[in-house]
Amino acid sequence: MQKGTIGKDLNLAAELLRRGGLVAIPTETVYGLAANALNPDAVLKIFEAKNRPRFNPLIVHVAKANEMAQYAEVPKLARRLAERFCPGPLTLVLRKKPMVPDATTAGNPTVALRVPAHPMAQKLLSLLDFPLAAPSANPSGYVSPVTAEHVAENLGDKVDYILDGGRCQVGIESTVVAVEDGNIRILRAGAITPEMLAEFAPVTLARAGAESGSPGLLPSHYAPKTKLSWGKLETLLEKHRGQNVAVLAFCKAPQKAGIIACEVLSSSGDLREAARNLFAALRRLDAAGADAILAEAVPEEGLGIAINDRLRRAAT
């Protein structure tokens, strides 16, 4: 079979994974580039295909929340979070058990675990007797894929098969949290918001950067090839006067000379809809041939925190 073939054959996907292959899988957040999380050789292929720095650990996907205890120590608070939010867009960073290879956790004593909610990911995991390591299925640093076609465009020659589960419903990567001494530290913002987590324990938000405790939270990430600026649209348009610009607007398209492409994330101002549209819109704007992409800051609340986080880092 040709690399990068797109299809819906779950048995084929399972067989390729059993043989140590790479399969792109749909999740409710973004597409993942999956391999057997317990097989270091298979896991190394993920790093190679993505050109991912070896120090950046992978998320391990399991079929059910109660399987987490096979791979990590699960303190009470983590168990309560898993009961409430799994399956769903929450990743828990927990102290790992020895059976999880260093290749998967990049040598960290912790492992990130998540239960994807997408029915095809669920079905696939239930066919396997091992968990799946899966980072987002994009070349390291580029925009995450939310359709099978996005995966084919970027990594088609590197994956054995692309399981097509349609368009991702959340559209932005999972919330990554560390659970420490009864506190919740958000390492990466996502669809599970600080308010939702605050019902369970005190929440702190780690700042992106070297000391964030999450090696993948590099300040620069999620970046299109076209230079991107993020902030108040009016200010950005003023600064880029005289250039051909592509605009990513939150709920209303601005009217100004020089705008050669524009995407509105949600005309009704709905942050969920905006998150769902974010990465596909960024990819279209990246293809517009503009001098710059100008991305509007969205309200810094709920899912808006995650959207601004991605745009801020795309701009670095």
d(CA 308, CA 143): 14
Residue 136 or 154 having the CB closest to Mg ion: 136
**Other CB atoms within 10 Å distance of the CB of residue 153:** 13
The number of residues that bind Mg ion (CB under 5 A) is 1
**Residue 187 binding ligand TXA, by CB under 6 A:** yes
**Residue 139 binding ligand TXA, by CB under 6 A:** no
The number of residues that bind ligand TXA (CB under 6 A) is 29
d(CA 235, CA 249): 13
**Residue 214 binding Mg ion, by CB under 5 A:** no
Binding positions for Mg ion, 120-149, rule CB under 5 A: 136
Sign of CA dihedral 20, 22, 25, 30: positive
**Residue 58 binding ligand TXA, by CB under 6 A:** yes
d(CA 297, CA 121): 32
Q: Which residues of 105-119 are buried (b: 16+ CB within 10 A; e: fewer)?
A: bbebebbbbbbbbbe
DSSP for 104-122, written as a single string: HHTT-SEEEEE----HHHH
Minimum distance between the CB of residue 222 and ligand TXA, rounded to whole angstroms? 9
Choose the one of Mg ion, ligand TXA, none that binds residue 108, judging by a C-beta under 5 to 8 angstroms depending on kind.
ligand TXA
Among 66, 108, 226, 244, binds ligand TXA (CB under 6 A): 108
Footprint of ligand TXA (CB under 6 A): 27, 29-30, 32, 56-59, 91, 93, 105, 108, 110-112, 114, 116, 134-136, 173-174, 176, 187-188, 214-217
